Structure 1
């Protein structure tokens, strides 16, 4: 089952390219001569990515047929029977392979980046907890603007006034 080692290689390529972003789909081109079983490849992908940053991503496989360029008649033909590599136009065996040996990651669909909705309401108790781990802070307002959370965490609160 060489599909498992192929998936390990794909994983390395995708993990490096994703740059800490989530991956939805990995697009592959697989030539007919590669003797890859698509269902087995997808199964191995789910095994390799399980409990990893790529968990839930899917493989989308574009199957590339075998096409030959015939040196005898000059035609480019698609092979109907992979075991017989002859020109479909003139039956010559004097051919060169044009497609069919591909195995490449062609693109990766990244999940959209998570965006903080500026209209969302932040739970004040979570802000207090964040602030209190760095230094004591006054009670937060009941609703905190999410853009000010960073300021609250990064800014030292003023010292209490002495009376």
Structure 2
């Protein structure tokens, strides 16, 4: 179950940032989770609770924000929701070669709230899936 390695990575990153920020407890972690990230939200929530045990995050809430999968055709400039399973053929021109997946693979920390208020964690880097 890769949700456990994701949860442990999130806890490690947030705990490090919280300690550096002088926090004594983390209250909430918000994650963006793309529809194509291969993450089961309920499994992630379960693993997150386990991974938080004995850390500054113990008792913290995990809030996931779903990010829909969308694609763009470079040939005809059509944008569309790719659905599940993903359909990467352009509904406008039928092309499958000039399509770009624009969203849906996200897995990033959106924000963290600890004992002295909300602190945004830079979301420039995706969460590593392996420890």
Same fold per superposition (TM over 0.5): yes
Match of 2:101 in 1: 97
Match of 2:115 in 1: 111
Identify, as 1 or 2, the structure richer in strand.
2
The 5 A counterparts of 1:14-53 are 14-19=14-19, 20-21=22-23, 22-53=25-56
TM-score by length of 1: 0.64
TM-score by length of 2: 0.78
How many correspondences in the alignment? Answer: 113
Structure 2 segments unaligned to the other structure (5+ residues): 118-131
Larger Rg: 1
Deviations 1:40-95 (A, max 9, x none): 00000111112322110011111111110112210221112333222244433130
Contact map agreement 1:79 1:88 (CA 8 A) in 2: no
The 3-state SS of whatever aligns with 1:55 is coil
Change (3 A) 1:82 1:111: farther
Identify, as 1 or 2, the structure richer in helix.
1
Contact map agreement 2:32 2:67 (CA 8 A) in 1: yes
2:54 is equivalent to residue 60 of structure 1: no
